Amino acid sequence: MRKLLAICAAIFCIAAASDPAERLPDPGQEARARAIFAEVRCLVCQNESIDDSSAELAGDLRRLVRDQIKSGRSDDQVRTYLTDRYGEFVLLKPAFSWGNAALWGAPFVVVILGLFLLLRNLGAPRPYAELSQDEAARLAALADKEQT
Amino acid sequence: MIAETGAFALILALVLSLTQVVLSVLGRWRRASVLAGAGAGAGLAAFACVAVAFAALMHAFVTSDFSLANVAANSHTEKPMLYKVAGTWGSHEGSMLLWCLALTGFGAAVAGFKRGLPAGLKAVTVATQGALGTVFLAYTVFASNPFQRLVQIPIEGRSLNPLLQDPALAFHPPFLYAGYVGMSVVFSLAVAALVEGRADAAWARWVRPWTLMAWSLLTVGITLGAFWAYYELGWGGWWFWDPVENASFMPWLIATALLHSAIVTEKRGALAGWTVFLALGAFTFSMLGAFLVRSGVLTSVHAFAVDPTRGVLLLMILGVTAGAGFALFAWRAPALSPGGVFAPVSRESALVLNNILLAAATVTVLLGTLYPLIREAATGEAISVGPPFFNLTFTPLMAALLILLPAGPLLAWKRGDALGVAQRLWVAALIAVGAGLLAFAAVSPRKALASAGLAMGVWLIVGALVELAERTRAFRGSGAETWRRLTGLPRGAWGMTFAHLGLGVFVLGACFETSWKSEAAETLSLGQTLNVGAYELTLERIEGGDGPNYDAERATIIARKDGALVCTPKPERRFYPTGGQTTSEVAICTKGFNHLYVVLGERRPGDVWLVRAYWNPWALLIFLGPAIMALGGLISLSDRRLRLAVGRRALPA
């Protein structure tokens, strides 16, 4: 049952981005395009980047990104262009926004909360005091007597 | 007839599970060992019945009995025998039956062990296990019965998805389910601890072997899934942070935390409440996984509407069982003893830090998986949470954990000696930093972060070896003494060493492969070549060939390095006429720990074929590491101290 979605996707989608027919002639631009592909969701596939997908729409999106890069846009401009057209949904990396504060913040809140609880526990008054040297010696003597 | 026997056995198992609950509860309440014993007997009988039902379903798959709706939908006469058998658990209904088989099986195992567990604790554990069995069996019988007959019997079945027809995936679900459901025993033990008000060292000693077993099985299951994704999906990736993967990863993270906190509870009597909490959490995450995967809520919002009853029912099961468990926890946990005190620098503190980081990692994966749903429900805006999110949050948490890891086992209980640990580990730190610098200088292209990851892997491996050397007084005592200590080490210690070594091996492989793999793709006609890494691949010939249930196109490719023949990968492209699907069979040449990974793509006009090749350095370590970890779990499990029936505590309460 596991990976059903990857399975469905994989039937059509096999790392299509590296298809030589689609590539940009400039290797630097191509590398930038590939880096962006990994962060862009193939909207009709489930949780797949357009780098991995060979669905038709993913091909269209790749062409769009490559065209943008060819016409000299920066990476950020390309991302903005995509979100303007398709909404935040298209980016696999959620924006650092208030709406996503809980998402980005939760790991750190858990760590801080955990450390706080640990420190409070360490600083808590001990339920019983440890034995002094004198008391320890007396206890040892008592234990010896018990054994003999 | 056999199918009816199976259906009947399944219903009987449901009744027996219910009987198991009633008798065990009565046995505990009246303190009547006869009733409790009868409850345990009902548990054994329930397992036998589910086994009969499972065998009946397997028989239907093997004989291609298409009068069963489930077989007709998921099997085919021409399918190879292995996949007919694996088809038993290849569908939703069949896998629920496998789940029940594992659940009642573990229940029977708990019920069957005569010695060890105090009678009260055992009766409540058996009762809880029976209750879980009742719930899931009822779900299987009423909402996803695999024995439903068809009125009009088809001549041929619709076959199993060809991507699932793979040896790794045939064995992946049994391991995964055994791991998932193994956590149910831990859950039941936690409920029993809360009811009886005792989560002491003896209890923790009972929790550990079950957790270890479930953890090891889950490790194997997840690794098989990742390995399958690696060579079957055909783009060289092995982990995608896909919700379905996350669903199996969360119980693993919690189980890992539980393994460590249970040690503190066993050795020092501390963290009892937290250990119980994690024990409840592990199976809760298993059930959450089952819900997420089956309801379709995450893969597509629409899939939920296709069969809303199943998803809603699973959600109800999850809510009721986990809710009851945690409500009991809220009520009874304050009664558990607080346990021993420890200094800020101590093994307890190190293990608590381990737990904090693993808990944070679990929350990260959980939120990363569910946040799009929450956000959409709350604001109506759709967002995506993909690999870049996990790389930025999960990875630093794990990095912190890995840096601390080698110090943990070297610290003493109660009050550790930070300076002493630093003295023991500085050589390891030096080697790790050296390895990182070497990687940075020698491997091109230069990658600082990846080199740091490599250093981390070396740090873990050398750190585990330093701990072993400390235990055996290697380099300090005589060789004979070291040997004596080495052979006298408890299996539990070896298990820990292997698990930590395996993690290091995995980190090495994951960092190296992810950062330094190279890929190439070209359309080739016969005789043309393609370069990837240091290799030159020539498309030698293409031939047709038919498999049992598919037509294939097979390429023969010659791989050369510096003109010398290295290997001849033979990737395939298969067409399955039954479902009209095409799959690609990757060819992998293993060179040391490295993989040369070749995929045959589609044929293009002009008799050219798209060929893609990847050079995946150290890729083997990614799968070898978890295998070593699971082996560590098994070695630990064989420790005398943790043997399931600890004879010494054979007291009827």
**Is B143 within the bounds of a domain?**
yes
Beta carbon pairs, A and B, within 8 Å: 166
**pLDDT per residue over B511-535, tens digit each?**
999 889 888 888 899 999 999 988 9
* B113, B224: one domain: yes
Contact B482, B472 (CB under 8 A): yes
Higher pLDDT residue, B475 or B510? Answer: B510
Instruction: State the Cα–Cα distance between residues B578 and B576, nearest whole angstrom.
Output: 6
B161 touches chain A (CB under 8 A): yes
Q: Measured between alpha carbons, how far apart are the two ends of chain B, in Å? A: 46
Domain boundary among the residues B470, B497, B516 is at B516
Q: Which residue ranges make up each domain of chain A?
A: 4-90, 98-147
> What pLDDT, on the 0 to 100 scale, is given for residue A8?
39
Name every chain A residue with its beta carbon within 8 A of the beta carbon of B224: none
Residue reference for tokens 């909490």: B277
Contact B176 A2 (CB under 8 A): yes
Let me know if residue B476 belongs to a domain.
yes
Question: Is the Cβ pair B359, A110 closer than 8 Å?
Answer: yes
Nearest to B610 among A2, A19, A111 (CB): A19
Q: Please answer yes or no on whether B601 and A14 come within 8 Å at the CB atom.
A: yes
> Is B343 in Cβ contact with A92 (below 8 Å)?
no
Whether A5 and B363 lie within 8 Å, measured CB to CB: no
A15 and chain B: CB distance < 8 Å anywhere? Answer: yes
Of B173, B383, B522, nearest to A1 by CB-CB distance is B173
Query: Within this chain, do residues B316 and B424 fall inside the same structural domain, yes or no?
Result: no
Cα separation values, B314 from B46, B297, B306, Å: 21, 12, 15
Contact B356 A118 (CB under 8 A): yes
Among residues B482, B516, B550, the one where a domain terminates is: B516
Residue partners of B240: CB distance under 8 A and separation at least 6: A6, A47, A48, B229, B387
- The label of the residue with tokens 């505990």 reads B28
Q: Is A3 helix (H, G, I), strand (E, B) or coil?
A: coil
pLDDT of B619 higher than 50:
yes
pLDDT tens column, B70-103: 898 888 888 888 989 988 988 888 989 999 999 9
Where is A82: in which H helix or E strand?
Answer: helix A75-86
Q: Are residues B432 and B525 in the same domain?
A: no
Q: Are residues B137 and B69 in the same domain?
A: yes
A120 in B contact zone (CB under 8 Å):
no
- Give the CA dihedral B126, B130, B136, B141, nearest 10 degrees: 150
The ipTM (two decimal places) reads 0.81
Quote the mean pLDDT of chain A.
Answer: 78
Q: Is residue B292 part of a domain?
A: yes
Reply yes or no on whether the pLDDT at B643 is more than 80.
no
Encode pLDDT of B210-255 as tens digits: 999 999 999 999 999 899 888 887 777 888 888 888 889 999 999 9
The domain boundary, picked from B516, B550, B579, lies at B516
Name the minimum distance, in Å, from the CA of A81 to any CA of chain B.
16
Share of chain B above pLDDT 90, in %: 54
B358: nearest CA in chain A?
Answer: A111
Nearest chain B alpha carbon to A121: B341
In three state form, how does the secondary structure of B253-278 look? Answer: HHHHHHHHHHHHHHHHCCCHHHHHHH
Kindly report the pTM of this predicted structure. 0.90
In a domain, residue B610? The reply is: yes
Q: Is B231 on the interface with A (CB under 8 A)?
A: no
Together in a domain, B63 and B156: yes
Residue-wise pLDDT for A15-64, tens only, equals 455 677 788 888 888 888 888 988 898 877 767 788 877 777 888 899 99
**B341 at the A interface (CB within 8 A)?**
yes
The tokens describing A78, both together, are: 């390309």
Read off the pLDDT of residues A92-102 as tens digits, 9 standing for 90 and up.
888 888 888 88
Q: Quote the pLDDT of residue B298.
A: 65
The reply to whether B378 and B460 lie within a common domain is no
Same domain, B361 and B307: yes
In a domain, B644, yes or no: no
Beta-carbon separation of B612 and A87 below 8 A: no
Question: Is residue B526 within 8 Å of residue B549, measured between CB atoms?
Answer: no
Looking at the fold, whether B104 and B148 belong to one and the same domain comes out as yes
Is B623 inside a domain boundary?
A: no
Architecture of the CATH domain A4-90: Orthogonal Bundle (1.10)
- Asked whether residue B31 falls in the same domain as residue B136, the answer is yes
Segment B94-138, tens digit of pLDDT: 989 999 999 999 999 998 876 678 888 999 999 999 999 999 999
Report pLDDT for A6. Answer: 43
Give chain B's mean pLDDT.
Answer: 88
Query: pLDDT tens across B226-236, in order?
Result: 998 888 877 77
pLDDT value of position B374 = 86
Q: Decide if B305 touches A, using CB distance below 8 A.
A: no
Across A136-146, average pLDDT: 72
- How deeply is B578 buried, as exposed, middle or buried, from its count of CB atoms within 10 A (0-12, 13-18, 19+)? middle
> Which DSSP helix (H) or strand (E) runs through B589?
strand B587-591
Q: Which chain B residues are closer than 8 Å to A46 by Cβ?
A: 299-300
- State whether B432 and B331 are in the same domain: no
Q: Secondary structure of B352-377 in the HEC alphabet?
A: HHHHHHHHHHHHHHHHHHHHHHHHHH
In this model, does residue B201 exceed pLDDT 90?
no
- B406 in a structural domain: no
Packing angle, helices B308-332 and B272-295, rounded to 10: 170
pLDDT digit string (tens) for B409-467? 999 888 888 888 888 899 999 999 999 999 999 887 888 888 999 999 999 999 999 99
Looking at residue B397, its pLDDT comes to 95
Give residue B523's domain range.
518-616
In a domain, residue B120? The reply is: yes
- Alpha-carbon gap: B39 to the closest alpha carbon of chain A (Å): 33
Q: Which of B349, B393, B582 sits opposite A107 (nearest CB)?
A: B393
Q: What pLDDT, on the 0 to 100 scale, is given for residue A125?
A: 55
Q: How many domains does chain B have?
A: 3
Q: Are residues B159 and B110 part of one domain?
A: yes
d(CA B367, CA B384): 12
Angle B405-B438-B500 from CA coordinates, rounded to 5°: 20
The reply to whether B57 and B176 lie within a common domain is yes
Which residue reads 């730190």 in tokens?
B429
User: Quick check: B344 contacting A, CB < 8 Å?
Assistant: yes
